[in-house]
Amino acid sequence: MTDRLSLSNLSSLPAAVTPPPYDREAVRAGVVHLGIGAFHRAHQAAVFDAALADGDLRWGILGVSLRSPGVRDQMVPQDGLYSLVVRQGDEQRVRIIGATQDVLVAPESPVAVVEALASPDVHIVTLTVTEKGYRLDPATGALLEQEEDVASDLASLAAPRTAPGFLVAGLARRREAGLPPFTAISCDNLPHNGRRLRQAVLTMAERHDPALAEWIDRHGAFPQTMVDRIVPATTPDDIAALAIQLGVEDQAMVKAEPFSQWVIEDSFASERPDFARFGVQLTGDVAPWEEAKLRLLNGAHSGIAYLGGLAGIEFVHQFVARPEGRRFVERLWDEAQTTLDPPAGLDIAAYRGELMTRFSNSALQHRTRQIAMDGSQKLPQRLLATIAARRAAGLEVETLALAVAAWMRWQGGVDDAGATFTVDDPLAARTAAALAGCGSAAERVAALLAIDAIFPPALAADELVRSTLTRHLERLESTGALAVLA
């Protein structure tokens, strides 16, 4: 059996592999990260690791898994070490990230997580808990107070269960100890992610202690961010291939593209690393960056996921390798682009070109099925806001509506070849119930548009939107996605 990557075999790795160049014993944990999935390990952790490599040893990370022990079991036996494998075409670079000091599994030790959040060393809490992890209504951003875990945290924070619950419990402990709040940085693809996180935290804090809520409101910081790096889920084949190269097995490896961008609103409650030195953009207004990224990159991704998924196209690069796939993406961008107010420094034409190159990166093997997950949480900011903006300007929404119609067909759980699949989405039961008994595409469109957790009522009432969706859905159902694209 191959040994696992660990401190004991770091020195025997191939020379081309970059190990952490700092004394790990001297590092303090200045960051708690909630939701230690693949993206965090390839994005924010790489920045904190760069700060450590630069000699600022305040930025070690305590990772927290809010649900399963999987990542803890991958990382802790490896002393927290893992490989960041950056792939482009035939090229691959491997860097060992050493920033993560430990991983806690919140359901096993909720009190230890709260204690960690209250540590005087901690200044920053980052989150990648997926869109659904914030427990917000996707259309309105209101906290889902009826949800079991949210209701539990609203009743008592003795053993929190949700991300907002942990943050409030940690902030309460800091206030009692006379410590400043940490800066809570949402790194999920939520619209106005900082504002939504702040709202969720304040709603929960208010319920427990209005004075605490006021303290958080006054002294806390929830900067908005735009995060970008394509990080597909790691597969067993990725791990096996890396083991041959390293001579040791790394179960915690992550793979990513070379591109990485992090734009953070310059609003912090206390200390932070010299972010700008490590390639992070600090700005007064993240919204235009976020909007461009969500509507161009993520909007296209979701369209590719549903159309590609229905057509049996497994990977993003395969979709854009087809002329009709590429044409769909370009047309979607033509439509989305008219709704943007790009920030200085963002050239949309160049950005589109770069995005297409990124989507074409065949070494990433980014599955359309992975992107299709949780569509109910993603559609509002990726496609529906864009549609609403175009309709407000009196414009048609032909290609954007095709992407939404493909999502609608996806809710049926059957692809164009007749194969069934599970719709992986927190609202899957609601979309399935809405579709039950519908006899025509027009009825299916009407039933799904009526779900106001996803579709704003004004959009659902727009006749042109409805008729365009119906026409697309009819064609998707009768001819399949590939024929519609062609």
Does 332 bind ligand CS2 (CB under 6 A)? Our answer is no
Are the C-beta atoms of 481 and 444 separated by less than 8 Å? no
Contact, 16 vs 9, CB < 8 A?
no
Q: Which member of 67, 357, 424, 433 binds ligand NAI (CB under 6 A)?
A: 67
Does 368 help bind ligand NAI (rule: CB under 6 A)? no
Of the candidate residues 83, 119, 162, 189, the single one contacting ligand CS2 (CB under 6 A)? 189
| Of the residues 189, 203, 411, 431, which one makes contact with ligand NAI according to CB under 6 A | 189
> x/- site string to ligand NAI, residues 225 to 264, per CB under 6 A?
--x-xxx---------------------------------
> Which of residues 85, 97, 230, 313 is near ligand CS2 by CB under 6 A?
230
CB of 261 to ligand CS2, least distance (A): 8
Residue 337 contact among ligand CS2, ligand NAI, none, beta carbon within 5 to 8 Å by kind? none
The residue at minimum Cβ distance from ligand CS2 is 301
Query: Across-strand partners of 29?
Result: 60
Cα-based torsion angle of the residue sequence 32, 37, 39, 41 in order, rounded to the nearest 10 degrees: 60
Q: Of the candidates 267, 164, 285, 263, which has an alpha carbon nearest to the alpha carbon of residue 213? A: 164
**Residue 132 touching ligand NAI (CB under 6 A):** yes
301 in contact with ligand CS2 (CB under 6 A): yes
Q: Which two tokens stand for residue 289?
A: 């960056």
Query: What is the C-alpha to C-alpha distance for residues 222 and 201, in angstroms, rounded to an integer?
Result: 10
d(CA 296, CA 319): 16
The dihedral built from the CA positions of residue 182, 188, 193 and 198, taken in this order, carries a sign that is: negative
Residue 243, contacted partner among ligand NAI, ligand CS2, none, CB below 5-8 A by kind? none
Burial status of residue 326 (CB atoms within 10 A of its CB: 0-12, 13-18, 19 or more): middle
Q: Which of 410, 228, 408, 394 is nearest to 311 (CA)?
A: 410
In the complex, the smallest distance separating the C-beta of residue 306 from ligand CS2, rounded to whole angstroms, is 11
Q: Does 468 bind ligand CS2 (CB under 6 A)?
A: no
Smaller CB distance to ligand CS2: residue 122 or 230?
230
The reply on whether position 165 binds ligand NAI by CB under 6 A is no
One-letter identity of residue 393: A
Q: Please report, as ranges, the residues that interact with ligand NAI according to CB under 6 A.
A: 35-40, 65-67, 128-133, 163, 188-189, 227, 229-231
